[in-house]
Amino acid sequence: MNKIAIFHRSDGTYGYQTPDNGFHVRLRTAKDDIKSVEIIYGDPFNWGPESDIKNARNIWKKEGENLIEKYETDGDFDYYSKTIYNFNKRFKYYFKLVDKDDKKFFFGEQGIREWNENIDGHALGFTWAYSCEGKLNMPPKWWTQTDWYQVFPDRFASSKKELKFETEGPEHLEVLGGNIQGIIQKLDYILELGFKGLYINPIFKATSAHKYDTIDYMQIDPQFGTLEDFKELINKCHSRGMKIMIDGVFNHSGFEFEPWQDVLKNKEKSKYKDWFWINDFDNLKTAFEYDKEKFSKTKPYETFGDTPTMPRINWENKDVKNSFKKVTEFWTKMGIDAWRLDVADAPSFTFWRFFRDTVKNINKDCSILGEVWYDALPFLHGDMFDSSMNYPFRTNILESLIYKNIEIKDFKAIFTKQKYLYSNYISAGLFTLVGSHDVDRITSIAKGDKALVRSIFSFMFLAPGSISFYYGDEYNQVGRYDSDNRYPMDFSDHTNNKTYKLIKKLNKIRSKYREDIQKGIRWVDISTNILEFTWENGKRILIDIENDEVLIDGKAILATK
């Protein structure tokens, strides 16, 4: 037996409470290393009628024994999975493992040892102390039932004019004139495409076109319209059964942010000097006076990246917290359904817990999405974010299906490993994407191979997650990072576009089978280079990349060739 490969923790990923009063257990072993797995469990306080302290270890009463079947493999490890029901809210348990040579082993919190009927399972086992609503770690139910269409407001639509660049290509800060009324006019387009979530990039008053350099957190940027326009957008979304998510930038401000301007003027005498992370007051200048290379080396103040125009905010400062609390309360009370938090991995855990409490005290169903580009588990324990941007999914897609750095069978193995970073409920809510304002357009990365892009979209839509779809990708808009990937939306007739038709069809399938999809997928054969998997309802899905088709139980959903 490969003891090092065996893993379990009752930490919310390999052992966690379910909403139907169960407890879900996962166990990892080396591939093909174990003949059988049994879980033995009981109430940790059930000692029997003649219990006393001296004999406690010998008379703990076990209440159940269940075999756990192997659920799937990733090629290196096997994963066993089972939900246990009909137990007290308190749960003590351990595992009985039988290897290929029929040798029996005990596995508990302190490791593996040879099986002995007198082993003290109570002292050495795993513990789930108590099930209660506050430990049920999952995003709001509506979140996992919603897929999102991402809009970059300045480049999406205008109620006043056609959006186009006057020069050969977009400048980083160039403002084109998209506005909120333009978005309102296109809500039916988004809904017709099949999306019931609208995610919009920042709309607060800012300097640039992207608006991640905030000037005033309490004001809609006049370029986009008025507060009344935004309230109308919320109402128009809700009247259509749509949700709306806005972008919050609390990691840093823009250089025109009033407190920052006061610091530049008054330096150490500024009442806002502790609002920012300043290393050298004597070297403070306006943002455009710095040589970028010298700035990155001397760092007179902390910033987003090495960008002088975006000073990093001191989230631990009491006045900063109170100011951002007012901002958070103002927009949450207005009726938004979710927050997307920019650069969410930088601010402190204590700040995000403070932010979450502020939001959830107003609306417990308002979701919180964090921008984290890697394993986001530290943020997803139920005290900070409800979801994270699933960029690892995108990386796996690019590495295998586009760059060909790994084979499809490796892609499947990585996908499975990533699944076990989180509980099923968190996985079902991850913000799954291949396109956004921060990365090259997927069709450009695929060098114009639209059939390949359709295969990628097909897998994304038929796998678990809360989908994020970047505007224009439905007709294979191209563009490299940054701002080439933010070209104006083309609203000409796309009804005959193969990708557009596929997205509409995939959204319908996803809506019909959402509950089954969100429970997870299992590969038909992990060792092949074929994208074939099943849902929990037994339906078999084949994504035929070569022939540009998707088949469910052998039937093509849309022949796109």
- Residues 542, 557 contacting (CB under 8 angstroms): no
Reference 165, options 109, 209, 199, 120; nearest CA is 209
For residue 280, what are the CA distances in angstroms to 46, 299, 302, 318? 63, 8, 10, 22
Phi-psi region of 261 (alpha: psi -120 to 50; beta: other; left: phi over 0): alpha
For residue 47, what are the CA distances in angstroms to 44, 61, 92? 8, 6, 12
Write the DSSP symbol of residue 464: S
Q: End-to-end CA distance of the chain, in Å?
A: 49
- Measured in whole angstroms, the distance separating CA 218 from the mean position of its chain's CA atoms is 27
**Residue 290 backbone dihedrals phi, psi, to 5 degrees:** -85, 140
Reference 102, options 35, 52, 18; nearest CA is 35
Query: What's the CA angle centered on 107, arms 106 and 110, to 5 degrees?
Result: 120
> Which member of 74, 371, 386, 474 is catalytic?
371
For residue 368, what are the CA distances in angstroms to 248, 302, 383, 395? 10, 26, 11, 23
**Residue corresponding to tokens 């949450």:** 332
Reference 167, options 484, 471, 551, 496; nearest CA is 484
User: Which runs of consecutive H residues, i.e. helices, occur in 300-348?
Assistant: 318-333
> Which member of 78, 221, 247, 342 is catalytic?
342
For the question of residue 371 being annotated catalytic, the response is yes
**Residue corresponding to tokens 């709306």:** 244
For the question of residue 262 being annotated catalytic, the response is no
Residues with Cβ within 8 Å of residue 112, at least 6 apart in sequence: 1, 3, 6, 97, 105, 106
Positions marked active-site? 342, 371
